Amino acid sequence: MKIKLTEEQYYRLLVENDKKFLNGKVEYPHIGNKVNKFIVKLFNYIHQKVGPFTRSNSDDIRDIITRDFGLTRAEAELLRHNYANFSHDTDTDDFSEFIGADLEFYGELKFNTRIPMSAYIHGTMDGYVTGYATSVDDFIDKLEDNSWDDVDTDWVDDIESYPEDAEWEIDTDYAGDSITDEIRDLKRQGDEDGIIDRIEIMQ
């Protein structure tokens, strides 16, 4: 028996499959988007090894998933997050009761942007060292003893600088603010699609 679907129904079915997350944008090689028997076994194993999720066993859980079950880091992050959710909701030590339940997507995302940077550059220019003295010899003694008065320049000549040697660093304070401002501006302009186009999901 053949079943006819409208185009809308067909696309909905695609989205509602049991493999993909985030409207079909993400899927993993070893796990789907629902709790299956394998995941129940994995959760039970974790529970037996380290107990319910806590902040202190978080790294251990991820390591167990990648090492003992051969899953990718991205799969481990997602399963650890869901294990935390499920173990938070129940006192059970058998996760069979969650079979067929939806897994919540949890993964690494990145928003492509321009990063503000800062660096110090160095150079030299004509200037002078000054000091008070009773004679040239006395001045020499003061230079030698480091008891001169000031090093300065008239700031009138060109600076010979070497910008190519600058050691750039992310201007961390400004970077945080500038990304937040950028997102707010795009939202204000109603350009949510523009934001999403610049987000990549890491797998």
Partner 1 sequence: MKIKLTEEQYNRLLVENDKDFLDGQVNFKHIGNKVTPFIVKLFNILKEKCKDCPFDKMMSMIKNDFALTEQEATLLTYNFNNFNAKNSFIEDFKEVLGQPLVYYGKFLYDMNIPVYGQVNGMIDGWAEGYGTSYVDFLEQIGNGDVEIIADWSGRVDADTYDVEWSVDDDYAQDQVSDIWHEYDEDDLSDFIDRVSIG
Q: Which residues bind partner 1 (CB under 8 A)?
A: 22, 77, 81, 104-136, 139-140, 143-144, 146, 148-149, 151-153, 155, 159, 161, 163, 166, 168, 170-172, 175-176, 179-180, 183-184, 195-196, 199-200, 202
* Strand-pair partners of 160: 124
Contacts for 168 with CB less than 8 Å, ≥ 6 apart: 117, 118, 119
* Strand-pair partners of 150: 130
For partner 1, which is the closer residue by CB, 99 or 117? 117
For partner 1, which is the closer residue by CB, 14 or 159? 159
In the complex, what is the shortest distance from the CB of residue 29 to partner 1, in angstroms, rounded to a whole number?
A: 20
For partner 1, which is the closer residue by CB, 99 or 121? 121
Contact (Cβ atoms closer than 8 angstroms) between residue 133 and residue 191: no
Cα–Cα distance, 101 to 85 (Å, whole number): 12
For partner 1, which is the closer residue by CB, 51 or 127? 127
For partner 1, which is the closer residue by CB, 14 or 119? 119
Distance set, CA 166 to CA 99, 138, 155, 160 (Å) = 57, 40, 22, 14
The tokens for 69 are: 């079950």
In the complex, what is the shortest distance from the CB of residue 155 to partner 1, in angstroms, rounded to a whole number?
A: 8
In the complex, what is the shortest distance from the CB of residue 76 to partner 1, in angstroms, rounded to a whole number?
A: 12
Contacts for 172 with CB less than 8 Å, ≥ 6 apart: none
In the complex, what is the shortest distance from the CB of residue 7 to partner 1, in angstroms, rounded to a whole number?
A: 25
